[in-house]
């Protein structure tokens, strides 16, 4: 590839959004977004419906004009370029395959529009990549949802865009097929080495595929990082609840000594890595993931140094094979989720008095005063 070809593709083309804002009347869909997506990365924009993630994607593709802000591809400002003049292609949510063209012509479409003469080889290669060479002569409606999805991907990928945009590409597929396609997409991304920007409301999908996830909420990026960073160290209650489940316990920081923060919550003393505690005094929310919490009968030994909450009562027990999920009610009235892996330990029945405990190193701290429920229910709304 030359350093600057017909479509203005440049080498070293990171996607940069600078102060990007989109307003519809008085509603702000995307609010002063600043973002850099490194070339060759698999980037996910994660959020509930209406958080502005699709609008962001459409501004990158050029189908929507930003109210304020700029979009850069490499050093090139593409903000004012028409969608058909951007080295960016989209895999649409409902695939938007051309119903009057067969699969071969659908895939060849972009190349033909750019005046490429010999399309046979690239089209065949692309169909092989998505393992659908045998359907070349069929019409889109003769394909299953999963196949159409892969053709939509092939149709976009064949143009070797600088950035490939995927708008909820797996949303219309059933769960099993979605899992399969997640792996497939990741494989293809590694194989072709292009930048993928993936919009989804499915946190599992984002975590499976993306190198970097940006969690969006109300037009802003709430937090950005690798899946592990976001999961282990969420910075807001929204992220803690939206990405997996969290037990969030409000408390007060008593003091910080030797890399350990001491927190009092409901009259019990809990500890936390000082490095993971954002405040050194005052209100704090202590969070711990359900699978890191252990459960034991109230008379059992708790390993020393562990955070311990006593006097809990099991409210609900669901055995789901690989694990057992408990809902434990604490004396303070709070409910705590506990996931215990099925290692043969006895199952606690509802009504049993239990003690819950966890390694303080596994907890995380959030700034106090936030809405503990933020982001907890949005996923259901979106799905």
Helices marked H in the chain — which ranges? Answer: 53-61, 103-113, 120-129, 145-157, 175-192, 203-209, 227-232, 237-242, 378-382
Q: Are 319 and 328 in contact (CB under 8 A)?
A: no
Distance of CA 23 to the CA centre of its chain: 24
Among the residue ranges 19-27, 110-118, 246-254, 255-263, the one whose residues contact another protein (CB under 8 A): 110-118
> Residue 90 or residue 337: which is nearer to another protein going by CB?
90
Closest approach of another protein to the CB of residue 138, in Å: 12
How many residues does the structure list for the chain? 383
> Residue 189 or residue 200: which is nearer to another protein going by CB?
200
Could you say whether residue 380 binds another protein (CB under 8 A)?
yes
> 91: exposed, middle or buried (C-beta count within 10 Å: 0-12, 13-18, 19+)?
buried
Could you say whether residue 145 binds another protein (CB under 8 A)?
yes
Q: Work out the angle at residue 237's Cα, subtended by the Cα atoms of residues 255 and 234, and round it to the nearest 5 degrees.
A: 75
> Residue 162 or residue 348: which is nearer to another protein going by CB?
162
Find the binding residues for another protein in span 52-71 (CB under 8 A). 61-63
Q: Are 211 and 41 in contact (CB under 8 A)?
A: yes
Choice from 11, 113, 297, 305 touching another protein (CB under 8 A): 113
Which residues pair with residue 18 across a beta bridge?
Answer: 70
Choice from 11, 65, 174, 373 touching another protein (CB under 8 A): 174
Among the residue ranges 170-178, 188-196, 248-256, 359-367, the one whose residues contact another protein (CB under 8 A): 170-178
SS3 2: coil
Choice from 83, 122, 361, 368 touching another protein (CB under 8 A): 83
Residues that bind another protein (CB under 8 A): 61-63, 82-85, 88-90, 92, 94, 96-100, 109-110, 113-114, 143-146, 155-156, 159, 172-175, 177, 202, 204, 379-380, 383
């Amino acid at each position: 590839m030359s350093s600057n070809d017909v479509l203005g593709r440049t080498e070293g083309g990171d996607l940069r959004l600078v102060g990007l804002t989109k307003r519809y009347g008085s509603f702000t869909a995307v609010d002063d977004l600043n973002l850099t997506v490194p070339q060759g990365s698999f980037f996910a924009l994660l959020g509930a419906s209406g958080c502005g993630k699709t609008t962001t994607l459409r501004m990158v593709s050029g189908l929507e004009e930003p109210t304020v802000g700029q979009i850069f591809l490499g050093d090139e400002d593409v903000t004012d370029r028409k969608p058909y003049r951007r080295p960016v292609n989209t895999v649409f949510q409902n695939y938007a395959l051309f119903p009057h063209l067969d699969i071969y012509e659908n895939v060849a479409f972009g190349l033909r529009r750019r005046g490429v003469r010999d399309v046979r080889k690239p089209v065949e290669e692309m169909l092989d990549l998505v393992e659908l060479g045998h359907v070349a002569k069929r019409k889109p409606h003769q394909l299953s949802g999963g196949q159409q999805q892969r053709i939509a991907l092939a149709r976009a990928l064949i143009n070797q865009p600088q950035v490939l945009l995927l708008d909820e590409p797996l949303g219309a597929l059933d769960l099993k097929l979605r899992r399969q396609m997640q792996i497939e997409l990741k494989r293809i991304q590694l194989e072709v080495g292009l930048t993928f920007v993936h919009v989804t409301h499915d946190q599992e999908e984002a975590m499976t595929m993306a190198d970097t996830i940006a969690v969006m909420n109300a037009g802003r990026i709430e937090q950005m990082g690798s899946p592990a960073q976001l999961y282990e160290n969420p910075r807001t209650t929204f992220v803690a609840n939206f990405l997996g489940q969290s037990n969030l316990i409000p408390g007060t920081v008593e003091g910080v000594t030797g890399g350990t923060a001491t927190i009092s919550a409901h009259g019990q003393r809990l500890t936390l890595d000082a490095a993971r505690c954002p405040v050194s005094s005052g209100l704090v929310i202590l969070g711990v993931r359900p699978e890191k919490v252990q459960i034991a009968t109230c008379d059992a030994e708790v390993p020393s140094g562990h955070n311990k909450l006593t006097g809990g009562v099991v409210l609900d027990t669901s055995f789901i094979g690989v694990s057992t999920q408990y809902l434990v009610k604490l004396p303070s009235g709070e409910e705590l989720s506990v996931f215990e892996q099925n290692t043969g330990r006895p199952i606690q029945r509802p009504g049993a008095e239990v003690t819950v405990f966890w390694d303080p190193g596994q907890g995380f701290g959030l700034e106090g005063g936030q809405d503990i429920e933020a982001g907890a229910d949005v996923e259901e709304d979106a799905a």
